[in-house]
Amino acid sequence: MLYQQIASNKRKTVVLLTVFFLLLALLGYAVGHLFMNSGLMGVTLAILIGLVYAVSMIFQSTEIVMSMNGAREVDRNEEPVLYHVVEDMAMVAQIPMPRVYVIDDASLNAFATGSNPQNAAVAATSGLLDIMNREELEAVIGHEVSHIRNYDIRISTIAVALASAITLLSSMAGRMMWWGGASRSRRN
């Protein structure tokens, strides 16, 4: 059952990439046709932006997500309980030990990120660490480690990257309209 879910998540990743790149190409065509009088130029630009975002998120997702959240990496001496819980859960799940981060925030939250188990990380907020006992923390971290093991984090990571690329193209189109309008509309 587990291997079927992992295979399913990998297939979903391919479908997600295909759909997003088609959507990106469509948006690129519209922007290119409207502002550059060349739909092909817009598609090329959109695909290039999408590839840059996807590759950067695949190889640097952990660093990007953790820096966005103000997380700091900890070792077994700084946060021994959290570190050992993550270590235990990784061993039970039979995945490589993820990097461990703490976010200085009073909210109760934890998450996993990365594009695969080899470069994954788990983060927990200081609020969560303050309020939970070890057994509760094991449940939360076990849940996050299951996302790593099942490759759920890959789908989320790529979805964020491609949504960011679409947002960038939409923002560029909006700014072009605001500052210069479509060259096609001036002639008409």
The residues carrying an active-site annotation are 144
Amino acid at 85: V
Strand positions, DSSP E, the chain: 71-73, 99-103, 110-113, 121-125
Q: Which residues contact 93 (CB under 8 A, 6 or more apart)?
A: 145, 146, 148, 149
Give the closest residue to 108 by CA, choosing from 91, 128, 90, 122. 128
Any residues with CB less than 8 A from the CB of 60 and at least 6 apart, and which? Answer: none
Supply 16's token pair.
């997600």
- Residue 84 CB-density burial (10 A; 0-12 exposed, 13-18 middle, 19+ buried): middle
Chain center to CA of 148: 13
